[in-house]
Amino acid sequence: MSSKSTEDEIIGLEREALRRWCSGDPSGFLEICAPEVVYFDPSLERRLDGLEALTNYYEPIRGKIMAKRFDLLNPLVQVVGAAAVLTFNFVSYDASETEYRWNCTEVYRQTAGGWRIIQTHWSPTKPTFA
Amino acid sequence: MSSKSTEDEIIGLEREALRRWCSGDPSGFLEICAPEVVYFDPSLERRLDGLEALTNYYEPIRGKIMAKRFDLLNPLVQVVGAAAVLTFNFVSYDASETEYRWNCTEVYRQTAGGWRIIQTHWSPTKPTFA
């Protein structure tokens, strides 16, 4: 169901988008999202639907999110035809070495222009509930 | 890319598994998971890989999770060939009417035996971080 080159390509796309994200640039993700992308993160009341909604959500934080370094832990790509499901744990460190840990699921779809994200889900790893 | 009947089938599978889950029965999910299922929830340090790991995780809580009522809010199914991505917000209420809100992504894969889950991601909606 999978091939090494597809796995490498998907992980490479994600890693490059994350590199830009950690430099304050959300366009790395926006450029590889399909128009129908849907999106979850813990600060949202409901799922965001569509690239326009995600763009409107990301633009105000352009230049504001920085990480000194990050890592994708244990990335896995499950390929089902023209769909690829990437899951990984993400860890990043800010300038004061504070660690942030996340769970992430990305679903990519193969298009004429390359692989595009149709679903993103970010959530905190073991958050402390108040 | 989608069809009404596939959407209805996927949402129906999920709703029935949730109905059993909310009665303390994790087998509703385990029975519709593929062997290669991967799983995130906020209490885990890392992704769980495989049906055996998920079964071992769920069995100790059999009979312990109950919800008086629940709802899938705004479910969406994105079909890509033999893959189907279901996203929804989930709300449940316990006996004292305490409300619990979650984000959920399920990726299903079409098999000879029907649709099976290959990826589950549960996360809290707007958690309060300590």
Chain A nearest-CA residue for B111: A80
A108/A100 Cα distance (integer angstroms): 24
> Are B74 and A46 a contacting pair at CB < 8 A?
yes
Helices (H), ranges, B1-130: 4-21, 27-30, 51-58
Number of A to B CB contacts under 8 A, please give it.
Answer: 133
Predicted pLDDT at A114: 96
Taking contacts as CB-CB distances below 8 angstroms, the residues of chain A near B115 are none
Chain A nearest C-alpha distance from B20 (Å): 24
Instruction: State residue B8 phi and psi, 5-degree precision.
Output: -65, -40
Instruction: Report yes or no: A99 at the B interface, CB cutoff 8 Å.
Output: no
CA–CA min distance B89, chain A (Å) = 7
pLDDT at B1: 47
| Per-residue model confidence (pLDDT) at position A128 | 76
Query: How many angstroms away from the CA of B65 is the closest CA of chain A?
Result: 18
DSSP string of A41-62, one letter each residue: -TT-SS-EESHHHHHHHHGGGT
The pLDDT of residue B2 is 56
pLDDT in tens, B89-109: 999 999 999 999 999 999 999
Assembly ipTM: 0.94
- What integer pLDDT is reported at residue A130 of this predicted model? 41
Low-confidence stretches of chain A (pLDDT beneath 70): 1-3, 129-130
CB atoms within 10 A of CB A45: 9
Q: What is the pTM of this model?
A: 0.95
DSSP B6-43: HHHHHHHHHHHHHHHHTBT-THHHHTTEEEEEEEE-TT
Residue A1: predicted pLDDT: 47
As a whole number, the mean pLDDT across chain A is: 94
Q: Which residue of B has its CA nearest to A37?
A: B78
The share of chain A scoring above pLDDT 70, in percent, equals 96
AA letter at B75: P
Task: Report how far residue A84's alpha carbon sits from residue A92's, in angstroms, rounded to the nearest whole number.
Answer: 24
Closest CA to B103 of B122, B78, B80: B122
What pLDDT does A3 receive? 66
pLDDT tens across the length of chain B (130 residues): 456 799 999 999 999 999 999 999 999 999 999 999 999 999 999 999 999 999 999 999 999 989 999 999 999 999 999 999 999 999 999 999 999 999 999 999 999 999 999 999 999 999 876 4
Inter-chain touch A82–B85, beta carbons under 8 Å? no
